[in-house]
Amino acid sequence: MKRIIVRYKVKPGQAGENEALIARVFEQLQREQPAGLRYASFRAKDGVSFVHVVSLETADGSNPLSEMAAFKAFTAGVKDRCEEPPVAVELDAVGSYRFFGG
């Protein structure tokens, strides 16, 4: 099991486009419902900072997001939208309460 958090800040005026691209990822997730993936995205109150939390529970450790067309479209231009580029950190769980299910 792998858990990752990604944070970044978009440029002023880019939050709407970023959210629209994220919404398309969730629309595709709802349609395809890939197994072994838990995923959440958040926007901070400042309106331009975003955090994504991923829990990969696939048997082979693969990331179903990386194969999705909507996610590829989101990541293709993310660096151009950002004031602060994405920083990904792999996490080791210390504890959680109903956060990841199961």
* Average pLDDT rounded to a whole number, residues 25-32: 98
What are the backbone angles phi and psi of residue 13, rounded to the nearest 5°?
90, -5
pTM here is 0.91
Supply the pLDDT for residue 91. 94
* Strands, E assignment, the chain: 2-10, 37-43, 49-56, 82-91
List, for residues 7-27, the tens digit of each pLDDT value: 999 999 999 999 999 999 999
* Average pLDDT rounded to a whole number, residues 29-41: 96
CATH for 2-91 is: 3.30.70.100
100 pLDDT band, cuts 50/70/90, is low
What ranges do the domains of the chain cover? 2-91
Supply the pLDDT for residue 102. 55
